[in-house]
Amino acid sequence: MEATGRILAIDYGSRRMGLAVSDLLGITAQGIDTLQRRNKRTDFARLGGIIRQYNVQEIVLGYPLRMSGEAGTQSQKVAEFAEELRQRFGLPVHLWDERLTSAEANRLLKEAELSIQKRAQAVDRMAAVLILQSFLQVRSIQ
């Protein structure tokens, strides 16, 4: 297997974006940051810096579907953000079903006995890690 650059996962939210990157071989996911949203220009500038720093070649964006599998209002916002990412950075952007990742992230962090405040700061990053891990697992089987 050859190294082709990293994959960046984004757990997109209106106030914060959790971020995770893969290792160079695309096997493991590591949480790197939680980006506090400011405005589009600042957010994209910070994402651009991360993309350059980690030599990101692909982006996986958590796609929030309803439990029924249908898209909702937030799904539309994420799809629009995905298109902006494609246009600004010229990278492939994959929408990835993220149902239950935030709930799973909260459960894992609660088991780690983090305080509620620390858990709130880490949940977006953990959700991004879970999104990326599930993407990498499915990709490795194909």
Domain count, the chain: 1
* Cβ proximity of 21 and 37 under 8 Å: no
Q: Which domain holds residue 69?
A: 6-141
Distance of CA 22 to the CA centre of its chain: 11
- Asked, for residue 107, whether it belongs to a domain, the answer is yes
Note the pLDDT tens digit of each residue in 85-126.
999 999 999 999 887 676 676 677 677 766 766 666 677 888
Cα 42 from Cα 39, distance rounded (Å)? 5
Write down the pTM of the prediction.
0.84
CATH number for 40: 3.30.420.140
Tokens of 118: 């620390």
Mean pLDDT of 54-82: 90
Give the Å distances, CA to CA, from 119 to 13, 84, 102, 105, 135: 16, 30, 11, 9, 24
- Report CA dihedral (127, 130, 135, 136) to the nearest 10 degrees: 140
- Asked, for residue 1, whether it belongs to a domain, the answer is no
